[in-house]
Amino acid sequence: MGATTTGTDLHAGKLRALRALIASHKRWDLFFASVGVLALMFGILAFVALFFDMAVDGVPRITPDFFASFPSRRAENAGILSAWVGSTLVMLVTALAAVPLGVGAGVYLEEYAPRNWMTDVIEINVTNLAGVPSIVYGLLALGLFVYQFGLGQSILTAGLTLALLILPVVIVATREAIRAIPVAIREGAYALGASKWQTTHDHIIPYSMAGILTGVIIGLARAIGETAPIITIGALTFIAFLPPPPVQATAPFVNFEWLTSPFTVMPIQMFNWTSRPEEAFQANAAAAGLVLVVMTLVMNALAIYIRYRLRRNIKW
């Protein structure tokens, strides 16, 4: 009887020790969770505070007129017409230049390039290019596009500069999307006698399209907010006219003069207004900033939507 009691006591003691041990382990869970929440909140709250501060200042200025007016010396008449049109056209050029170049380079590196030291060097450098400060691209573009090629301080120059800037993003996104395709799918195509190009065209590119488009849009969302390289190539800060429209009523119906037109973009317009002393221009800057943030968020939402739509049919 005595032996049994001792046994039970021993058992209870062991259990107590075990529970104490688990409790002490769980204290660390609680500790890390608290630290994690703090870290998360720091970032999110900072953004939310900034956004609301900007919204409070800017929302009253966001009227249809704000989108339809050119900049003006009088803050209450000033708008972002030339800025958002300029941003849109520059993004168009950027996308048209970056997508074929980036996707082509990514597909080549992943599917065609032989594995040797040359491609290793190129691969490392493509990744490094993503970290080059954007103003350096601006300097490069000033020398190459503006002076060497004589493209001037135009929409074309800005679009090509930003295309260079996001090219690494597009290349890396393309390669990652391609790598996500299982080897078995690729081998399945080759086993039916497909050539490299047939495999690439019929399988690799379509199946990696979701990832590629996501990368492109995220790249564009970065490019739309870029200020430094655009200033470097000499975008004007005060533009009170629109570029010639790309389509016209008379033959040949399309017009490429807009490519060579001077321009401004959203962040430059914003930068211009923030440097003015009058309070009213600060409100304009806040409103333009709000529009820019919303444009970026919409682009990111679009990226998520496209990814979801295109990946719906692909399961692996």
Partner 1 sequence: MSAVLKTALPVRESPAPESLALKAEAKGLDFYYGAFKALKNLHMPVYEKKVTALIGPSGCGKSTFLRSFNRMHDLYPGNRYQGEIRMYPDNVNILAPDVDPIEVRMRISMVFQKPNPFPKTIYENVAYGMRVRNINRKSTVDEKVEKALREAALWMEVKDRLHDLAFNLSGGQQQRLCIARALATDPEMLLFDEPTSALDPIATASIEELVDELRQRVTILIVTHNMQQAARISDYTAYMYLGEIIEFGETDQIFIKPRNKQTEDYITGRFG
Footprint of partner 1 (CB under 8 A): 114-115, 182, 184-195, 198, 202-203, 207, 313-316
Residue type, 309: R
76 DSSP assignment: G
- Least Å distance between CB 314 and partner 1? 4
Of the pair 65, 202, the CB lying nearest partner 1 is at: 202
Q: Which is nearer to partner 1, 250 or 313 (CB)?
A: 313
CB of 302 to partner 1, least distance (A): 22
Q: Which is nearer to partner 1, 117 or 316 (CB)?
A: 316
- Of 49 and 118, CB closest to partner 1: 118
Looking at beta carbons only, is 197 or 256 nearer to partner 1? 197
Residue 252: cis peptide before it, omega within 30 degrees of 0: yes
**What's the CA dihedral at 150, 154, 160, 165 to 10 degrees?**
110
CA distance 121 to 58: 47
Residue 246 DSSP label: S
Let me know if 138 is exposed, middle or buried by CB neighbors in 10 A (0-12, 13-18, 19+).
Answer: buried
- Give me the phi and psi of 154, to 5 degrees please: -115, 175
Q: Which amino acid is at 245?
A: P
Q: How far is the CB of 105 from partner 1 (least distance, A)?
A: 20
Cβ 201 to partner 1 shortest distance, Å: 11
Task: Give me the least distance between CB of 198 and partner 1, in Å please.
Answer: 6
100 versus 182: smaller Cβ distance to partner 1: 182
User: Could you tell me the smallest distance in angstroms from the CB atom of residue 116 to partner 1?
Assistant: 9
CB of 185 to partner 1, least distance (A): 6
Nearest to 170 by CA among 213, 110, 125: 213
Q: From the CB of 182, what's the least distance to partner 1, in Å?
A: 7
Enumerate the H helices of the chain as residue ranges. 2-58, 64-68, 81-107, 117-129, 134-141, 155-179, 183-191, 196-199, 205-223, 228-232, 266-274, 279-311
Tell me the sheet residues that pair with 247. Answer: 254
Q: Which residues are CB-neighbours of 93 under 8 A, at least 6 positions away?
A: 155, 156, 158, 159, 160, 163, 259
Residue closer to partner 1, measured from CB, 306 or 314: 314
Which CB sits closer to partner 1, 154 or 199? 199
Residue (143 or 188) nearer to partner 1, CB = 188
Contact by Cβ (8 Å): 237, 144: no
Q: How far apart are CA 267 and CA 285, in angstroms?
A: 9
Q: How far is the CB of 57 from partner 1 (least distance, A)?
A: 49
Residue with tokens 């082509």: 104
DSSP state, residue 225: T
